[in-house]
Structures are given as structure tokens and as C-alpha cells.
Structure 1
Amino acid sequence: MKNSINRRRFILRSAAVSLALPGLPSLVTGADIKSSEIAESQGAGTGARRFVAVGNLLGFQQKHFFPETTGKAYEETPLLKPLAANRDQITVYRGLDHGLRGGHFAVHTFLSGLLHHESKNRADGNVTIDQFIADEVGNQTRFPSLTVGSEGGIHGGCQLSWTKSGVRVPPITGPAELFDRLFVTDSEERHKQQVKANSLQASVLDSIREEAGALSKRVNTEDKAKLDEYFSSIRDVEKRLELRQRWADQPKPKAPFDKPADKNTVEDLPMLYELIALALQTDSTRIATLEIGGSFLPQHLGIDKSYHGLSHHGNDEETIAHLVTLEKYQLEQYGKFLTRLAGIQDGEQSLLDSTAVLFGSGMGSANSHTNSDLPIIVAGGGYGKGEFKQAPTSGPGKIPLCNLFLDIAQRMGVQKESFGTSTGTFS
């Protein structure tokens, strides 16, 4: 290996990941690089813990969302009314947020608690709770996680899901593609091509790991963190490649209906929820996110206004009424999803009993561009207590939203003591 090795770049394009050897000023003792071990089990399925997160881009009208009375006797607000059939299976939270500012530019922190540009020096970056869990338990299913919903929107949209290396996980944007992922098996020719590609990528990985391992013996301590980060990227790609190889010959479940056509986000929302329910039921995945972003157009609900324009309502009653119509529709579909999960048997309990379903937004009030006092609901999965919880909004008793996320992760079997900005657990 030449002394100018720091100028070389090794690129691996695999499983939607690119690896580039970082530039190193110096030429640290070799790190122990081992292939990630993929669990032999294909997933118990029945009774396994599952997690779904639903987030929207522009928040909800707080006065129409939050009750006044805490506990189980809370009143039914206009936006909570669609959840009446599942009242005993939900908990509504107020006072939980990430203590951040940024308006639309901070919506992407909903599931992480961290601004992307402020997370560069953190070991887990701005990883979101879905990917945090998937990194630990996602290898038990064909898809470690499924990210579904709107691709864009104001300043990039919800950007709901992020990896620990700081990469946004792009969502599957329509029911047609999601249906294909879940139920359509590759042709024989396509399967052969994929097996060949997997073999080639594994060979390239071996080469990269070997050369990077040799390089690790020649760098100074200043470059150790940079090279360790690179090793972490290698291990991430190894995990994804091994998982893909493992499932290559496993048949997908049979489709229960014909492939749906993409329409628009408003009309597609019920089908996206249905396909996520089927993904959980068939144990194709145990972790999913659904983001409702810029492609959710009021026109498809008969309102000839822009969603963003409506969100800056200036306390105009007619505008707020339009927003409540949009938001109520979103909560109606969420409620129907809960009812669907409650009707699916999962061993001795329902699929809703097995699944924690988070609903909310990284935006508190779009009208005033605040990211505090976030609207949060968690249903099922042990969180269905049928009550409204009011947490302190400031002072020493303030509870980070990440405390709730850490509790969800630990119940999913993740043996970690912190997540994002957590200071403990909360449920």
C-alpha cells in the first residue's frame, strides 16, 4: 500500500449506501472488524413487539386537539373525536417536545430530538427512533423497517426517518410500490442478477475491509474517530447485504388483493395504512413510519387552498375550520388503522396489543412556527391507558419527548440506556 493511500477513495454502491474511505492526514492500532452476525431465526412473529410512527408536516390545531381535563375523564375534543372507538387503547400526551426552535426547519427532528446540522459529532448522529430500534432488532424480518409516505414538502417535508450516519431514509411514496415490496417476487432472471450482484458486492466489501484494516494500523489518534466512523459504515453495509442474501430465496407472502393504483396522498392514505397493517401481520417488518407531508393536498378534500397557507391562519375562523377538516381526516384514518389492528388476532392478543402506534408532529403550531408542545398520541403496545397526561412544559420537571421514545425502544427489546436527548424513560 502506498503512503498516499489517504488520497484514495473506495466506493461501494450497495443497498442504497455509498462508502468512501475518508481522507486521513496521517498514516492507531488496528480495529477489530467482524462481520455482523445475523440472527438465525426468521422471526417469531406471533406476539412480537412492533412499532409504527405517524407524523405530519404542519402539526394540529392545539385548541381543537388537547383536552382540558387530565386523566381518564378527559373531554372529547373535535380532533380526538375520530378516536372514540379506540379511546381505551390510547394515551394522549401534552408538554412533550425536544426543546428546539426552527419552525419548518426543525420538523425533521420529530423522531430524533436533534437538528441534523447539530448532530455531526454524536456517535448516533440524529438517528430516529424507528432506525434506532431497527438497528437492534430489524434483522429478524425481511424488512428491518418500512418508511412510507410523502417525499417532499416545505423545506424538504417531514423527513421523518434518519440513519445514525446522517442519511435520510427516503419513503415509499405510494401504495403500488409498497404492494410490490411486500408481495411481488422477482422474476427468475432478476433473482439471478440479484444473487450475482450480492456476490460481487460481498467481494468488494471484503477488499475494502482488508485495506481499511491495514490502514488503521498507520493512522494517528487524531484520525481514529474518523476511521472508526468509516468502519461503522462498513458494518452497516455488511448487515444490509447479509440480510438481503438471507431473504433472497424466501418466498414473499401471497397478496390478499390485486395491486392498487396510486391516486393521491389523501385518497391513498387508507390503503397505505392497510398495507402497513398487512406488513405487520405477515411479519414482513415490525417497524414502520408513515409521513404525511407536502403531497397531502386540501384540494382532494374539496378545499381550494394551500395547506401551508392555511396553516398560517392568523386566527381566522374560516381558515381554522378548513384546517380542522384536514386534520380530522388524518385522525380518522389513524383511528381506522387502530381498529384494523385491533381486529387482527396475534396469538392470544390483538395486533394492536402488540404494536405501539405513535401519532404526532414535529410542529407544535405552524401559525407561530413553534416546535414546542407537540401533539402526541400513543396507542396499543402497552400504552393504551385511555387517559390524557399533562407533563410540565418548563422548569426542572420538564420531560424530553425522547424519554417516551426510549421507553418504546426498551419495550421493543433494545437494551440501551439513552436515546437522543433522553434523561430517562417516561410513559
Structure 2
Amino acid sequence: MKSSSQFSRRQFLRGAGIMLGLPWFESVSSFGAPVVKGTPQAPRRLGICFFGNGVNPHHWGASNGPGGIEFLQTLKPLEPVKNKVMVFKGLWNPSTVAGPGGHYPKMNILSGLKVKQTTTDVEVGLTMDQIIAAKVGQNTPVASLAIGTEGPKYSTDSGYTSLYSAYLSWSSPTTPAPKEIYPQQAFDQLFDDGSKRARDKSVLDLVMQDASSLRGKLSRRDGQKLDEYLTSVRELEQRIARAEKLSTAEASTRGWQPSVKTPWLARPASGIPAQQEEHVKLMLDIMVLAFQMDRTRVVTNMLTNDLSGMNFGFLGIKGGQHELSHHANDAERLAAYQKGNEYMVKVWSEALQKMEATNEGERSLLDNSMIVLTSSLFDGNAHDSTQLPLVLAGGGGGTLRGGRYFDYSKDENRKLCRLHLALMDRMGVKTSHFGDADNPLSDLA
């Protein structure tokens, strides 16, 4: 990790428990609810769900049959929403194959750029979810939400820090977006009754008082550093003001009202749930509820970290997920690994079904969303990232046609960032280039 002197002002505020999103750029227009024939429509949402340690390649995938998409064993829990699902084969990030390392260099799923080989000054690249959040986040109390079930564990391998394995979303090329693993705190970020904003304001008051007292004592160079720090403070002030405005004038600012008005999920207990399955499901429920109530339109959800040792004993299996991923084709361990894969798809499917059951007028919440499920490896046993397990659910507000399987394995331009460009475009971010790609996938509609 970086020494304290290397951390930015923005990181300091995050460390103090204050979350900062990307700054809003005046040159980027607002993206609220679309209007069709004068009537505001439900907005689009993006969710990226991740689980670590890859998949059993023998049972992951699909095909196009006479009755539509046909799933292999691991994806069969998606049957209830099969017409809203796309399965991709062959997409990848070419930068993951260069250099040493088994897991850590592959954690560039949402940036496509090369992961820096380092144990100190980490760098992955600004991720597509944060670019989208910078545009759509002005219309919701929370610009984006990064959640998960496991925090970082500090170690190194082949010259890489394990910090990479714990983060999917990066708010700058060198700064991971703060990830909340405590369900109660994730819930409170979304459904603040005003008390959290009051606490943040009190912290800001103290910061500003300290800054004022220092101003006359600093050199010119230190004064410049203080100005940089106060820029981050002002960003937080703007975020608090936006949240207050949205909470008191939702109808006028949004132009569209969500069908779910109050949380159906009780405020979770403090701490980490004792049972892993409860933790995973809670974080998925929080994602669904956030979308239902339009508290945020961008979520990244790490169901497990990469290299996760999470033990799903409740499935009747023994051993942590990382251990089981290196099954060496041992029948018992491979069967246990397969059970873990199927469980991840099952709970993800249950979340999709809740979204499908949420009516938003002409479409369901799932129809208005784009929800990705993926891992950073395909064959976990071989650390193979030359293709990635990838499923996309939802209709993207009528811009995606599900129930199909896409095989890009023989396409010379099978870069994962082409999918990101297609998703970014549907979320209102128009750009000709992202990561290592300069044209989007064009056959999804």
C-alpha cells in the first residue's frame, strides 16, 4: 500500500468515512428519465455483479436452440428469465495475458487497461461504471454504489498487491472506489433519514475551521496543496446539497416516480452476517431495492472477492472457493466447485426475478436495466482469462433483445471493452473509445 504521504486529499476524506464521487463536469449534459411523447419514462440502470475464482468450464455456457437459448448446467437457474438474458463466449481483456501473476493482473474487468505490477502505487484505470456515474449520478441521491461481502486482505504475489483482488470499481486510474461490505452501512447510504448528512456536515465544518486557521501559516506551495484538498471538500458539499434537494423535491427534479416508495427490506443488523449466504443475498437485495427506489442507477456488487476463500458449507461442501477452484480435476473437489458456481447464478437469478416483478409502467425494472454477471477468470483451475464467463440480463430500456447466445471466440476483435462501449452508450455516455476498444458491439438490439 501507499505510504500516508502518497495518499490524496480525496483518499483522506474517504478514510474519514466520507464518500466522494467523481466531480460533475458542466460540459456533460444531465441524463434524467427519458421522455417519450411528453411523458417521463423510467431511467436505465446498470449493475455489475462479480464473483471470484472463475468457473467450471465444462458446465458454463449456452447455445441457440430451436426454442431459443439453451443453458448448460451452471446457468440453468436462469430459466425463469431466459428471454431477458444474453450469454457471451470469447470476450476478454487482451492486456491480462502479459506478464506474470495468476489472479491479480486479471482484475481490470471494467477498465480493460493493464494492471500495474506493483505492491505500492496501484493502477488499474478509470472504470466504465464510474464514467457512467459521473453523468447519471446527478439525478439520484447516491451517484453510484460499490458493495461486496469481503474487504481487502494484504499480501503480494508475483510483484502484485492483493489489493487488486478486492476492488472492481475504480474512481480514478489509481484509486479504487470505496466498497461497503457492511449491509447496514450500505443500506444507510441509500436510505439516509438526514442524520448521515448532518454528521457529514459537522465533519465539513471542522475541516473548514482547520483550513481557515492554517491559511496564514502555510507557504505558497502548501497553500496550493490546501486548495487541492478543499476542492475535494467542495465536491462533498455539492453531493450533500444534491441529496437534500432530491430528498425534498423528488417529483420536480426527477420528472418520474419509482413504483416502490418505501423499503421492503428491513434495516440490516450491524456487523457482518454470520452466514455467508445471508450476506450475499442481502447485498443483492440492497442492489435491487436501490434500483427500485431510484436511489442510484449504477451499482457494482462483488458477491465474493477474487481469490476468495469463502466457504459455502451450507451447500454441503468442504473447502474454500479458491481452494476448490484448483481442483486438478479431482472429482470430489470439482463437484464442490460446481456447486459453488451454481449457487452464485441461483442467487443472481433470484435478484433478476425480483426486478422482473417490479412494474415501471410499460416495462419492468429488469427491462429498464442492464445487469452483468462475470468473473475475472474462465477456467479457475488454469487461471485462464483468454475468455471470460459473461452473462448480461435486462432490456436496457428496450435497446437489448435477450434470449440469445453470442460466440465471439473466432472474432479477431473480441475485446470486452466493446461490450462496455455498448452499455455506456445505452446509459447516455457517448464516446468513440474506451479502454482498448474503439467500436461497440453492434448486434445486441
Interval of TM-score (by shorter of Structure 1 and Structure 2): 0.7 to 0.9
What is the CA-CA distance between 1:53 and the residue it aligns to?
Answer: 0.2
Q: What's the % identity of the aligned pairs?
A: 26
Partner AA of 1:116 in structure 2: V
Distance in 2 (alpha carbons) for counterparts of 1:353 and 1:173: 28
* 1:169 match: 177
- The answer to whether structure 1 residue 243 and structure 2 residue 239 are counterparts is yes
* 2:419 match: 404
What is the CA-CA distance between 1:68 and the residue it aligns to?
Answer: 5.1
Matches within 5 A, 1:152-191: 152=152, 155-156=162-163, 157-187=165-195, 191=197
When residues 10 and 278 of structure 1 are mapped into structure 2, their CA distance, relative to the original with a 3 A threshold, is: closer
- The answer to whether structure 1 residue 195 and structure 2 residue 201 are counterparts is yes
Matches within 5 A, 1:18-417: 36-37=25-26, 43-44=32-33, 46-67=41-62, 73-99=68-94, 100-101=96-97, 102-117=101-116, 126-149=125-148, 150-152=150-152, 155-156=162-163, 157-187=165-195, 191-198=197-204, 238-248=234-244, 251=247, 254-261=262-269, 262-291=273-302, 292-293=304-305, 294=308, 296-380=310-394, 381=396, 382-393=399-410, 397-417=412-432
Distance in 2 (alpha carbons) for counterparts of 1:408 and 1:55: 17
Distance in 2 (alpha carbons) for counterparts of 1:297 and 1:393: 36
Instruction: State whether residues 43 and 283 of structure 1, in contact with CA within 8 Å, keep that contact through their aligned partners in structure 2.
Output: no
- The answer to whether structure 1 residue 418 and structure 2 residue 440 are counterparts is no
When residues 195 and 239 of structure 1 are mapped into structure 2, their CA distance, relative to the original with a 3 A threshold, is: closer
Partner AA of 2:241 in structure 1: Q
Distance in 2 (alpha carbons) for counterparts of 1:197 and 1:135: 24
Distance in 1 (alpha carbons) for counterparts of 2:28 and 2:262: 25
What is the CA-CA distance between 1:250 and the residue it aligns to?
Answer: 5.5
Instruction: State whether residues 140 and 295 of structure 2, in contact with CA within 8 Å, keep that contact through their aligned partners in structure 1.
Output: yes
Instruction: State whether residues 125 and 166 of structure 1, in contact with CA within 8 Å, keep that contact through their aligned partners in structure 2.
Output: yes
Distance in 2 (alpha carbons) for counterparts of 1:46 and 1:208: 50
SS at match of 1:346: coil
Query: Which protein, 1 or 2, shows the higher relative CO under an 8 Å CA cutoff with sep ≥ 6?
Result: 1
What is the CA-CA distance between 1:337 and the residue it aligns to?
Answer: 1.0
SS at match of 1:179: helix
What is the CA-CA distance between 1:137 and the residue it aligns to?
Answer: 2.0
Structure 2: tracts of 5 or more residues without a match: 17-22, 34-39, 156-161, 249-260
SS at match of 2:201: helix
Instruction: State whether residues 72 and 386 of structure 1, in contact with CA within 8 Å, keep that contact through their aligned partners in structure 2.
Output: no
Distance in 1 (alpha carbons) for counterparts of 2:190 and 2:295: 7
* 2:158 match: none
Q: TM-score, normalised by structure 1?
A: 0.78
Distance in 1 (alpha carbons) for counterparts of 2:371 and 2:211: 37
SS at match of 1:399: coil
What is the CA-CA distance between 1:57 and the residue it aligns to?
Answer: 1.2
Partner AA of 1:246 in structure 2: R
SS at match of 2:323: helix
Partner AA of 2:434 in structure 1: F
SS at match of 2:382: coil
* 1:222 match: none
Q: Provide, for residues 203-232 of structure 1, a one-character-per-residue CA deviation record: whole Å limited to 9, x for no partner.
A: 8899999xxxx98xx9xxxxxxxx9xx999
Which of 14, 17, 42 is 1:16 aligned to?
A: 14
- How well do the aligned residues superpose, as a CA RMSD in angstroms? 3.9
What is the CA-CA distance between 1:71 and the residue it aligns to?
Answer: 8.9
What is the CA-CA distance between 1:15 and the residue it aligns to?
Answer: 4.5
What is the CA-CA distance between 1:238 and the residue it aligns to?
Answer: 4.3
What is the CA-CA distance between 1:365 and the residue it aligns to?
Answer: 1.6
SS at match of 1:75: strand
What is the CA-CA distance between 1:198 and the residue it aligns to?
Answer: 3.5
SS at match of 1:304: coil
Distance in 1 (alpha carbons) for counterparts of 2:401 and 2:233: 37
Distance in 1 (alpha carbons) for counterparts of 2:200 and 2:206: 10
Q: Provide, for residues 250-284 of structure 1, a one-character-per-residue CA deviation record: whole Å limited to 9, x for no partner.
A: 54974434322323332222222111111011111
SS at match of 1:351: coil
What is the CA-CA distance between 1:297 and the residue it aligns to?
Answer: 2.0
What is the CA-CA distance between 1:39 and the residue it aligns to?
Answer: 9.6
Distance in 1 (alpha carbons) for counterparts of 2:212 and 2:67: 57
Distance in 2 (alpha carbons) for counterparts of 1:366 and 1:359: 16
Distance in 2 (alpha carbons) for counterparts of 1:145 and 1:79: 30
Instruction: State whether residues 400 and 423 of structure 1, in contact with CA within 8 Å, keep that contact through their aligned partners in structure 2.
Output: no
SS at match of 1:65: coil
When residues 246 and 117 of structure 1 are mapped into structure 2, their CA distance, relative to the original with a 3 A threshold, is: same
When residues 330 and 13 of structure 1 are mapped into structure 2, their CA distance, relative to the original with a 3 A threshold, is: closer
**How many aligned residue pairs are there?**
385
Distance in 1 (alpha carbons) for counterparts of 2:175 and 2:193: 28
Partner AA of 1:168 in structure 2: P
Distance in 2 (alpha carbons) for counterparts of 1:37 and 1:231: 20
Q: TM-score, normalised by structure 2?
A: 0.75
Instruction: State whether residues 36 and 238 of structure 1, in contact with CA within 8 Å, keep that contact through their aligned partners in structure 2.
Output: no
Larger mean Cα displacement after TM superposition, 146-155 or 132-141: 146-155
Distance in 2 (alpha carbons) for counterparts of 1:72 and 1:89: 14
Q: Provide, for residues 286-321 of structure 1, a one-character-per-residue CA deviation record: whole Å limited to 9, x for no partner.
A: 000111222632224332212111101111222111
Partner AA of 1:242 in structure 2: Q
Q: Provide, for residues 333-389 of structure 1, a one-character-per-residue CA deviation record: whole Å limited to 9, x for no partner.
A: 111111111111123211111110011111122211121210011111233421110
What is the CA-CA distance between 1:126 and the residue it aligns to?
Answer: 0.7
Distance in 1 (alpha carbons) for counterparts of 2:32 and 2:300: 20
Distance in 1 (alpha carbons) for counterparts of 2:231 and 2:134: 11
When residues 410 and 17 of structure 1 are mapped into structure 2, their CA distance, relative to the original with a 3 A threshold, is: farther
Distance in 1 (alpha carbons) for counterparts of 2:245 and 2:68: 52
